[in-house]
Amino acid sequence: MREDKYVLGIGVGHNPSACLIKNGVVVSAIEQERLNRNKRSVFFNKEAIDFCLKRENISMNEVKAVAFNYEFNEKILSYLDLLKNYETKKYDLLPQFHLDLLKIRKVLNKNSSKIIGVNHHESHAFQSFCLSGFDEAAALVIDGRGEMESSSGWHFKGKESKRLWFDSSPNSLGYLYLLITSFLGFTYGDEYKVMGLSAYGKSIYKEKFDKLMFIEGNEIKINEKVYSDPLLNQLLFRAFWVKKKIPKKYSGSIIFDTFGEPRNSNEKITNYHKDLAASLQAKFEELAFFLLKKLFESTKCKNLCISGGAALNCVMAGKITENTSFENVFIPPAPNDSGTSMGAAMKIYAEKFNDLPSHDFSVYLGPKFSGNEIACELEEQGMSYEEIDSPERTAAELTAEGNIIGWFQGEMEFGPRALGNRSILADPQREKMKDVINEKIKFRESFRPFAPTVLEEKVADYFEQDMLSPYMSFAVRVKEEKKDKIPAVVHINNLARIHTINKKQNRKYYELISEFEKITGVPLVLNTSLNVKGEPIVCTPKDAINCFRKTEIDYLIMKNFMVSRGSL
């Protein structure tokens, strides 16, 4: 009997996660935040590892290697071994990923010798290439920073990979976006809010950003005055740790001299803030396209994989093919740090077994709950419910009537986007639906848009770019004649961040939308994550019930059990 080849991937950093590969196939993956219910959890613990092992019903002894999403060497390990018996306060000045490595080595105990470090950017790049299905591709990584890299270019061909170049931190396009995100009163992970806000402004201040970050020769550089700016640390500290007020006046600050007073989170968003967001987005796109053009010149390859936190900028991603020479663009479901557990595991699997992991991949890699488990939770919570024969048809009918549906089915998605198993669904034809969900369901800023999930074969009927977007990665232009037909999913700039679906990806979700099309003639629904502002996407039936109670969702459908708002 052949022995199974397991590689466990562990990702630490801003979005800790774990992943398990079995015989070249990803069989489980989960983000730490879904388990501890702490959104953007930054401290790793063993819950994510335990889930991956339990799902496969194996122990750590059966795992052949453990991939870690940062590089380390024997000198670092020796230093950590010296510290392992000290109180935390004795080594709290170590980089966070070293502290996480120390914790993981303790958790794995006798299996800690299996841990192999992988370069952080290589983890990003490897995941995007392996899942793309391309035989050859150029790969770009853009994030805040890895070990020292802030952006890097790669070339993959079969089993061969090569890093072509990198820009080192602090010349970081990711940190520039984070800096202005904090300046505008938001925190780390809120960059997507600034992207959404940018559609309401004009890029009239782009020249201001030219003073801070610019192209010098063949590289991106940041103004050296930013390094010692007294306002810089205040903004970064607020972005990562606390929503604190920042004093309005700073002398000797290039940031203050360039942009004026930073906004605090409770202050009104003005036209200036909207224009600043638009100008930041324009500068980001200019520099991103510069990096992409440099990458194409190095590879002459038409296939592109892009990852790192900046790959979540769907507005930029949707413009790549019209602004560069790349023809085919792939972005993985978790291009941010949560995906590096998978990328690191893929890299080590390829090295250890001389075989690339399979790109035949399902994004639904998280917990799944039986009908009995769901019914028991409903009864324990004192919820009245009914069993329905066809959840897909019922959800489609209720959505078409104008109801807002909490949709909880099958395995949880991996990555930051809800892709049809932990979703809130609504009718995209209703103009006020966006405002209703923002105000009464998500409790979030009114300017934020919602995405449509569209049947894969009907994309060209509604959108100008006939493209696949199985992980909700690209914002594309809505056809002029269709804008008024689906107003709830069209942003103010006439773009929509599309999620395309086919029957193989998710049969139940596909059939729900097909039923909705039969009723309304529209082959798409509004889809947003099943959670409220400040909380992770729900994981368990208990999480879903808590979300339902906190909001004005009309119906919660979990498997074939339905709870109505009127029954509460």
First to last CA, the chain: 54
* DSSP 8-state secondary structure symbol assigned to residue 543: H
Q: Which of 239-243, 385-389, 399-403 has the lowest mean pLDDT?
A: 239-243
Cα 374-377-378 angle, rounded to 5 deg: 85
Is there a contact between 134 and 305 (Cβ–Cβ < 8 Å)?
Answer: yes
**Fold classification of 130-330 (topology level):** Nucleotidyltransferase; domain 5 (3.30.420)
CA distance 503 to 360: 15
Mean pLDDT of 298-316: 97
CA distance 174 to 306: 14
DSSP string, 44-72: --THHHHHHHHHHT--GGGEEEEEESS--
Q: Which of 307, 56, 289, 269 is nearest to 181 (CA)?
A: 269
Q: How far is CA 310 from CA 66, 141, 150, 313, 315, in A?
A: 27, 8, 10, 6, 11
pLDDT of residue 404: 98
CA distance 189 to 336: 10
Judged against a pLDDT cut of 50, whether residue 89 lies above it is answered with: no
Is there a contact between 523 and 347 (Cβ–Cβ < 8 Å)?
Answer: no
pLDDT of residue 512: 98
Judged against a pLDDT cut of 70, whether residue 187 lies above it is answered with: yes
Over the chain, what is the mean pLDDT?
92
Mean pLDDT of 504-509: 98
Q: Are strands 303-307 and 328-330 parallel, antiparallel or unpaired?
A: parallel
DSSP string, 404-459: -EEEE-SSPBSSSS--SSEEEEE-TT-TTHHHHIIIIIS---TT---EEEEEGGGH
Judged against a pLDDT cut of 70, whether residue 568 lies above it is answered with: no
Residue-wise pLDDT for 312-355, tens only, equals: 999 999 999 999 999 999 999 999 999 999 999 999 999 999 99
Q: What is this structure's pTM?
A: 0.94
CA distance 338 to 308: 10
pLDDT of residue 455: 98
Ranges 97-101, 367-371, 564-568, most confident: 367-371
Q: Which residues contact 3 (CB under 8 A, 6 or more apart)?
A: none
pLDDT of residue 256: 87
DSSP string, 288-303: HHHHHHHHHHHH--SE
CA distance 378 to 369: 13
Which tokens go with 2? Answer: 């052949």
pLDDT of residue 75: 63
SS3 (DSSP) at 261: coil
Domain boundaries, the chain: 6-68+72-117+339-353, 130-330, 371-567
Between 356 and 226, the higher pLDDT residue? 356
Q: Do domains 6-68+72-117+339-353 and 130-330 have the same CATH topology?
A: yes
**Long-range contacts of residues 72-79, Cβ cutoff 8 Å, at least 24 apart:** 72/98, 72/101, 72/117, 73/117, 76/101
Superfamily of structural domain 371-567: Carbamoyltransferase, C-terminal domain (3.90.870.20)
Between 9 and 71, the higher pLDDT residue? 9
Per-residue confidence at 1, pLDDT binned at 50, 70, 90? low
CA distance 168 to 187: 23
CA distance 99 to 105: 10
Judged against a pLDDT cut of 80, whether residue 67 lies above it is answered with: yes
Strand partners, 251: none
* In this structure, CATH architecture of domain 6-68+72-117+339-353: 2-Layer Sandwich (3.30)
Residue-wise pLDDT for 375-385, tens only, equals: 999 999 999 99
Q: Which of 181-185, 206-210, 241-245 has the lowest mean pLDDT?
A: 241-245
